[in-house]
Amino acid sequence: MNERIAPHARRYWRPLCVVLLLGACSKGTQPGPVSGESTESVTTTPVALTAADTGKTVSLKPQQELSITLQTIGGGSYGAPQISSPVVRSIGEGEPGVQNPGGPRQVLRFQAVSAGEAEITVPHSERSDPFRVKIVVQ
């Protein structure tokens, strides 16, 4: 068979076969869903909100994460978040990054647990209107 391949093409033949063989072997090696399991990806893109998003309604999928970045310019600070329902749980605070000298920045992190609705309220020590967001987990 090598006699029919031009001499200058022989040096490419073996690497080409290896690449084609590896490509053919890698097809279909990703495991599929277990019987009864959803084909939808388990990991989803986190949702990021800021103080400007107060009053909004946000849809999440179970296990999807939500971060809320709140910053106080001037006096006062945001308090501990209050969650109205166990369909969403707090998973702590995130890294706020570089702080603004005008006031502290907080990153609150949450995760959707199960289908349902919840409201997250974060009070402020000097403002009458707290940060509020409605979460719908589907």
pLDDT tens-place string over residues 42-54: 557 999 999 999 9
Decide if domain 47-137 falls under CATH 3.30.420.10: no
Output the pTM of the full model: 0.67
Q: Using DSSP, state whether 88 is helix, strand or coil.
A: strand
Would you kindly state where each structural domain of the chain is located, as residue ranges? 47-137
Categorize the per-residue pLDDT at 7 as very low, low, confident or very high, splitting at 50, 70 and 90. Answer: low
Q: How confident is the model over 73-88, as pLDDT tens digits?
A: 878 889 999 999 999 9
Whether the pLDDT of residue 34 is over 60: the answer is: no
What would the pLDDT profile of 88-121 be if each residue is shown by its tens digit? 999 998 877 777 777 788 999 999 999 999 999 9
Buried b (16+ CB within 10 A) or exposed e, 26-48: eeeeeeeeeeeeeeeeeeeeebe
